[in-house]
């Protein structure tokens, strides 16, 4: 069995290639070619969780499982919050093919999925990016957004000004103005694209602050009781999910907006895979606000894992 560490993942899984993998995978999910169970979690010691995500990807002749530990307290220990592996199997005979470091894979495929949605939903002229957060996903989303739009300005916000400034210093790009914002309102006021990749549990994006025509990727919140955007944001936006059943079970951004009366289930436009396949329309006019709610799914992991295995085998 091949072991693929974080360095090999980062060297081999390029962002442009992964964007195409995510488009193909979301289309397969939306046409019913891939069936996935909801993720399982088990509480363990010191406020941590074990996350177990099995799945199959028949089109790639693959099945597997993603195993992660999630320890929010690791931020104070200077250790990764998320650690784990993807185990990849051959679907013909069940042979284990690879053990792949999951955090690096997740960082790339999550941002690639956001880029895929942005390519479909954002205005072609979008060039002003706001990133809300300064962790691993902030870095990968910066790279991903530059792959699908001609980004000229980037404003970065997070609750810790020092970490925000350090992120800006580390991620200077030729021809792009990158600067830290002192508050969320300043960061999003002129944004054509917003990537929310924070650890916020209460809304940091307010619908009253949004520019007409903005596209939003909501990435950071992944439980039913946490959200990054308020109800008005969801009410004003044309909303797309990855897997509708997963979003209605796990996404606090959607569930809390529904509970407050700002959103109805029938208001959700559909799955992003349906846009890939031209089954439904994406953006309907330049002034429309569009929103992609990312939760991630193991089919995305398996697609990226299979690509890595094939490239390195």
- CATH code, domain with 303: 3.30.1780.10
**274 and 169 in a common domain:** yes
The answer on 247 and 134 residing in a single domain is yes
Within this chain, do residues 293 and 152 fall inside the same structural domain, yes or no? Answer: yes
Max CA-CA distance within the chain? 55
CA gap 205, 219 in Å, rounded? 12
200-213 pLDDT, tens digit each: 899 999 999 999 99
Q: How far is the C-alpha of 146 from the C-alpha of 260, rounded, in Å? A: 35
* pLDDT tens profile 218-230: 999 888 999 999 9
- Specify whether 291 is located in the same domain as 303: no
- The token duo for 154 is 């980037």
Same-domain status, 50 and 139 = no
Which of 192, 183, 226 shows the shortest CA–CA distance to 210? 192
Name the nearest CA neighbour of 192 among 167, 215, 168, 164: 215
Listed as ranges, residues in the chain with pLDDT below 70 are: none
In a domain, 114, yes or no: no
* Residue-level pLDDT at 176: 95
| Same domain, yes or no: 209 and 291 | yes
Do 86 and 147 have their domain in common? no
Domain count within the chain = 2
C-alpha to C-alpha distances, 200 to 8, 57, 132, 226, 229, nearest whole angstrom = 31, 32, 10, 7, 10
Residue 285: give its domain's CATH number: 3.40.50.720
- Provide the residue range defining the domain that includes 212: 123-297
**Which pLDDT does position 18 carry in this prediction?**
98
Per-position b or e across 226-251, b if 16+ CB within 10 A of its CB: bbbbbbbbbbbbbbbbbbbebbeebb
For residue 198, which of 229, 172, 224, 165 has the smallest C-alpha distance? 229
| Tokens read off for 133 | 């957060």
Contacts of 230 (CB under 8 A, 6+ apart): 203, 205, 206, 207, 257, 262
How buried is residue 204: exposed, middle or buried, by Cβ count under 10 Å (0-12/13-18/19+)?
buried
Same domain, 12 and 140: no
Q: Which pLDDT belongs to residue 39?
A: 85
pLDDT confidence of residue 72: 81
Q: How far lies 25's CA from each of 79, 105, 228, in Å?
A: 31, 15, 26
Alpha-carbon gap, residue 145 to 118, rounded angstroms: 8
Report the pLDDT value the prediction gives residue 45, as an integer from 0 to 100: 83
Question: What is the layout of strands, in order, in the sheet containing 96-101?
Answer: 2-4, 96-101, 82-90, 62-70, 49-57, 40-43
Same domain, 264 and 219: yes
Among 43, 89, 92, CA closest to 69 = 43
User: Distance of alpha carbon 228 from its chain centroid, rounded?
Assistant: 13
pLDDT at residue 80, as a whole number = 84
Asked if 92 and 133 sit in the same domain, the reply is no
In a domain? residue 213: yes
């Amino acid at each position: 069995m091949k072991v693929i560490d974080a360095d090999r993942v980062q060297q081999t899984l390029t962002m442009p290639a992964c964007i195409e993998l995510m488009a193909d995978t979301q289309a397969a999910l939306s046409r019913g070619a891939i069936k996935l169970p909801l993720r399982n979690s088990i509480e363990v010691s010191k406020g941590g969780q074990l996350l177990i995500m099995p799945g199959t990807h028949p089109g790639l002749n693959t099945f597997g499982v993603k195993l992660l530990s999630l320890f929010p307290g690791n931020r104070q220990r200077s250790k990764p919050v998320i650690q784990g592996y993807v185990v990849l199997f051959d679907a013909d005979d069940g042979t284990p093919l690879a053990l792949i470091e999951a955090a690096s894979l997740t960082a790339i495929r999550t941002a690639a999925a956001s880029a895929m949605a942005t390519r479909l939903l954002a205005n072609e002229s979008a060039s002003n990016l706001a990133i809300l957060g300064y962790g691993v996903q902030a870095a990968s989303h910066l790279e991903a957004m530059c792959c699908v739009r001609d980004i000229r300005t980037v404003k970065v916000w997070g609750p810790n000004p020092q970490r925000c400034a350090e992120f800006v210093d580390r991620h200077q790009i030729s021809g792009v103005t990158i600067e830290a914002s002192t508050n969320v309102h300043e960061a999003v006021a002129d944004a054509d694209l917003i990537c929310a990749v924070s650890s916020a549990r209460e809304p940091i994006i307010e619908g009253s602050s949004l520019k007409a025509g903005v596209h939003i990727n909501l990435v950071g919140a992944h439980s039913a009781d946490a959200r990054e955007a308020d109800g008005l944001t969801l009410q004003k936006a044309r909303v797309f999910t990855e897997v509708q059943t997963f979003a209605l079970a796990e996404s606090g951004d959607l569930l809390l907006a529904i509970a407050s009366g700002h959103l109805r289930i029938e208001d959700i436009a559909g799955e992003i895979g349906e846009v890939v396949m031209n089954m439904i329309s994406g953006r309907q006019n330049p002034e429309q606000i569009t929103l992609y709610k990312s939760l991630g799914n193991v089919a995305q992991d398996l697609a990226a894992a299979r690509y890595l295995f094939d490239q390195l085998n």
